[in-house]
Amino acid sequence: MHGREAVRPLIVVKTLPVHPSPIERLNSRVAVNTYWLTCTERCAFRRTIFRNHGGFFSPFVKRRCARFATRRRAREGKTWGDWPGWWCTRDMRSMCARLVAVLHVCAASTCSRTLRDACELCQAASGPNCKQQYSWSWTASLKENDKHTYLTGVEAVRGIDALNAPRVETVVRWNQSNWPGIAKELAPGIVRAASEEDKKLLCSLWQKEHSYQAWTVLLGCPGREAEEYERPCSNIGAVVRIPCASIDLTGDSTIMGGIFDSTRWFRVGQYMHPPHVCDARRAVQMDEVGIAMSVYPTAMGHFVPEQLPKVLLLHSTLPAEVPIIVGDGPVVRRFLEPLVAMGVAKPDRFLYMPFKYDGTIVQAKSVYTVLNSHFSNAASGDEMYRITRATYSPNGSVPVAQRTTIVLVDRGVGAARSLTNNAEVRAVLEAAAARYAPGSNKEGNAGHHFHVVNWRPHPTDLRLDIETFRHAAMIVAPHGAGLSNLIFASEGTPVIEICYKDNSGMTCPSMYGAMAANLHMPYWVILGEGGYGSPMRADLVQLSKAAKGALATIVALHRGHGKGAGGAGRGRLSSVAESGAAEADGDGEQAASLIRRMRNACGRPRRAPRAHGNA
């Protein structure tokens, strides 16, 4: 492996909208000064170039540069002071040597042709504007959707197909279970309503929702099947290395991160837009880099459930010297910087990339990314979420007996999806907890000191939030970013999500239900009156039933039970038809059995031999 500095960005250069390489321009005596580095940029990179690339300063290169520059100056009748950006050194020979070093670094390998070749292919097929298109409809089939996303003239490598593509190396590959197979076969009912009647209500309310990722699929509503289904342990995850590749960071920050080489672009998921191969104005040169970016890369509701597991998988897989590109924003830093403080990652592990819309392209000899065979959904599978949880909790889950906090996520007053009856919700949860308090009349009760806390994120210290959720006995939250903290909760912690009932705008997303299934956490979804952008009032009857079943689950796990009516967890989780104690206890026993059943992992990721020279 090269030294640490070799894998950091070497130079940033301004490139032209036309694509002869720098060395070809030098050889053909095209004006070198069209590839300007400003005085500030040149001086800023001078020390790095001399330190890391002194070998490029051969006597032959110096003599050639001096002769070329002298002829050029004589032909145009100009002095160095007349050339914009170059006057900061009066020593022609020294300046030209530095310039050739910069150009030589840019073209030191065939990787420098990636951008040029891809653009030429696209322009040859569609004209100078390089036609590209992205389109996705949640109501269309996968096959139909594939027809409407393309980069003209450049081959699209779709999802997991990259494992068999030429010049793509598999670094690590494994099988795991993903939420459709978990919810239908491995643990049917792990995501559920408070009762059978409530389930019918939810199935009716969300019946028009698409089936790529939907509550109707997670809940097992009659006649609803996942558009893309894989049986338990059939989902494939992988980390791959793509040699001589580029990363598109040129345009809209919500759709950045596309990977391409000279002839192909890698459509790792449905969310990936075709790269802007002809829009580059700046290039960041690197040896090796990892990336696993998707839409809205700095938003809480997308970064945590969709990208963070992939980023941490790259972290656990790649050598420590390989930087991993992430978007630069408060949410991203909030979740990654504590890993540095905890000693889990080195300070330069994560390369925070600001999105400046300045035509930046990252070019690298090796680009690493994450693949998943579930093409339509950014959720990553249970093994990847296990790695995420373990990264933040290296000592493992908190023992069940030490989980005593009922966490009620508080979205404030008057905010979108805040609870107008928050005090009543808390009272319902306290009543459910009192049933298990020491001295209660509950038969066989050993005494559990559950207490309710209203939780809001700590403004500066994520580690305090991690510990709160690790010690949670139950989590209750309105739909929103607070549910992203499920990744910190211990195994088997039950969750209740309060979804809004109003479907006139966006239907309540099921992303956190799918996330919980992959985290092996029993999940109840109930309703509240309100909409996505308004406060809402939780249904207290549904909440009471769900809370009793959720607490019964954690108590059953504490007792070591979990062989309820399904027989060692083989049956579907029964619904709590009434709010009585027997129904809640049976519900908890069966939920506990499902959690134990899911502990049998499909197989841990295994590294493949690395054939490239940087191993």
Taking only the tens place, the pLDDT of each residue in 509-554 is 999 999 999 999 999 999 999 999 999 999 999 999 999 999 988 8
- On whether the CB atoms of residues 518 and 178 are closer than 8 A, the answer is yes
Residue 577, both tokens: 């038809």
Residue 545, both tokens: 């039933």
Phi, psi of 211, rounded to the nearest 5 degrees? -110, 20
pLDDT at residue 254, rounded to an integer: 75
- On whether the CB atoms of residues 87 and 39 are closer than 8 A, the answer is yes
Q: Which residues fall within 8 angstroms of residue 164, CB to CB, at 6 or more apart?
A: none
**Alpha carbon distance 386, 392 (integer Å):** 10
Q: Is 606 helix (H, G, I), strand (E, B) or coil?
A: strand
Residue 165, both tokens: 């593509």
From first CA to last CA, the distance across the chain in angstroms is 5
Q: Is the pLDDT score of 584 beyond 50?
A: yes
pLDDT at residue 93, rounded to an integer: 45
Enumerate the β-bridge partners of residue 14.
Answer: 282
> For residues 174-193, b (16+ Cβ closer than 10 Å) or e, as one string?
bbbbbbbbbbbebbbbbbbb
Domains in the chain: boundaries:
22-106, 113-166+235-372, 187-223+395-598
Q: For 388-445, what is each residue's pLDDT tens digit?
A: 999 998 888 899 889 999 999 999 999 999 999 999 999 999 999 998 876 565 544 5
Q: Which of 382, 435, 430 is nearest to 604 (CA)?
A: 382
Q: What is the mean pLDDT of residues 178-191?
A: 91
**Alpha carbon distance 551, 416 (integer Å):** 28
- Give, as one character, the DSSP assignment of residue 223: T
Instruction: Give residue 328's pLDDT band: very low, low, confident or very high (50, 70, 90).
Output: very high
Q: Which of 277, 288, 310, 205 is nearest to 242 (CA)?
A: 288
Q: What kind and span of H or E run contains 477?
A: strand 472-478
CA-CA distances (angstroms) from residue 91 to 53, 73, 196, 284, 585? Answer: 20, 14, 83, 28, 85
Residue 314, both tokens: 């790259």
For CA atoms 144, 146, 151, 152, give the dihedral sign. Answer: negative
**Alpha carbon distance 510, 217 (integer Å):** 10
Q: What kind and span of H or E run contains 65?
A: helix 59-76
Q: Rounded to two decimals, what is the model's pTM?
A: 0.77
**Alpha carbon distance 457, 479 (integer Å):** 15
Q: What kind and span of H or E run contains 283?
A: strand 282-291
Q: For 94-106, what is each residue's pLDDT tens digit?
A: 554 444 444 444 4
Average pLDDT of the chain? Answer: 78
Instruction: Give residue 50's pLDDT band: very low, low, confident or very high (50, 70, 90).
Output: very low
Residue 383, both tokens: 């093994």
Q: Is 135 helix (H, G, I), strand (E, B) or coil?
A: coil
Q: Is the pLDDT score of 63 beyond 80?
A: no
**Alpha carbon distance 394, 384 (integer Å):** 15
pLDDT at residue 608, rounded to an integer: 44
Interstrand relation of 132-133 and 150-151 (parallel, antiparallel or unpaired): antiparallel
- On whether the CB atoms of residues 250 and 359 are closer than 8 A, the answer is yes
Q: What is the mean pLDDT of residues 65-84?
A: 50
Query: Could you write out the three-class secondary structure of 252-264?
Result: CHHHCCEEECCCE
pLDDT at residue 334, rounded to an integer: 94
Residue 414 backbone class (left: φ over 0; alpha: ψ -120 to 50; beta: rest):
left
Q: What percent of the chain has pLDDT over 90?
A: 52
**Alpha carbon distance 551, 524 (integer Å):** 12
Residue 564, both tokens: 């309820």
**Alpha carbon distance 384, 379 (integer Å):** 9
pLDDT at residue 587, rounded to an integer: 61
pLDDT-wise least confident of 67-81, 113-127, 270-284, 428-442: 67-81
Q: Is the pLDDT score of 465 beyond 80?
A: yes
- On whether the CB atoms of residues 565 and 449 are closer than 8 A, the answer is no
Q: What is the mean pLDDT of residues 299-324?
A: 93
Cβ atoms < 10 Å from Cβ of 398 = 20
Q: For 28-39, what is each residue's pLDDT tens digit?
A: 332 333 233 334
pLDDT at residue 69, rounded to an integer: 53
**Alpha carbon distance 141, 226 (integer Å):** 11
Instruction: Give residue 53's pLDDT band: very low, low, confident or very high (50, 70, 90).
Output: very low
pLDDT at residue 417, rounded to an integer: 96
Enumerate the β-bridge partners of residue 341.
Answer: none
